[in-house]
Amino acid sequence: MSPRSTETSAPVPPGTGVAQARRRIFVAVPLASALRRAVAGLAPHLREAEQSLRWVPPDNLHFTLKFLGEITPAQLARVAAAAKDVAARAQGFRIALAGLGAFPSPRRPQVVWVGVAEGADRLAALASDLDGALHRMTFPKEARPFRPHLTIARVRRTGPAPDLTAAIAPFSEFALGAQDVTNLLVMESTLHPSGAVYRQVQEVGLGESG
């Protein structure tokens, strides 16, 4: 099963007005700096696939809970309100990262990811609550269930996909570390030839109301 992508547009509710400037928006859980460094340390172990992989810059690493695509300012206000409501209902929790894998498979990968060994159920519940809240605001629900994972690299579209089976196998249960999940971020993604640039639009703390 393929992961939900942060690089393709999603449908948006009709009747929002075409004159408004649209922004490419997603809602995410940020990754702690120590875990960003740990993920960056995996790159040398996949050196044989270096020419085939496009690594996510460490500063861009995050868990995407919901990708909205290009939406209007009015829709963005509804996304911000939904994120705030969902965060207020949630409590902070801890996640631990472990294991390296690929979608759809290490033999023919498109995406390389790190798994969530602890707290995956809480992360999935948070994503589900957010999806439901946004659906009530007329945004489409996700077609596929949320699978907690951290995308760390994508296979370049030029040339054949590398077989990463041997490179990934030693790290199938490798522990990278843990962090507390305490907030949600509403983020804007701007696409450039060199890759996506992310900008924080809103930050809301879990368990915070008002």
Q: In the chain, where are the structural domains located? A: 23-204
Q: Under CATH, which number does the domain 23-204 receive?
A: 3.90.1140.10
Specify whether 149 is catalytic. yes
Residue 204: pLDDT over 70:
yes
The two structure tokens encoding residue 129: 């609550």
Closest CA to 132 of 90, 189, 180, 70: 90
Specify whether 62 is catalytic. yes
Indicate the angle between helix axes 73-89 and 120-136, nearest 10 degrees: 140
pLDDT at 43: 85
Residue 7: pLDDT over 70:
no
pLDDT digits over 75-128, tens only?
999 999 999 999 999 999 999 999 999 999 999 999 999 999 999 999 999 999
* Residue carrying structure tokens 């209007």: 72
Query: What average pLDDT does the segment 62-69 reach?
Result: 96
H helices present in 67-173, as ranges = 73-89, 120-136, 165-168
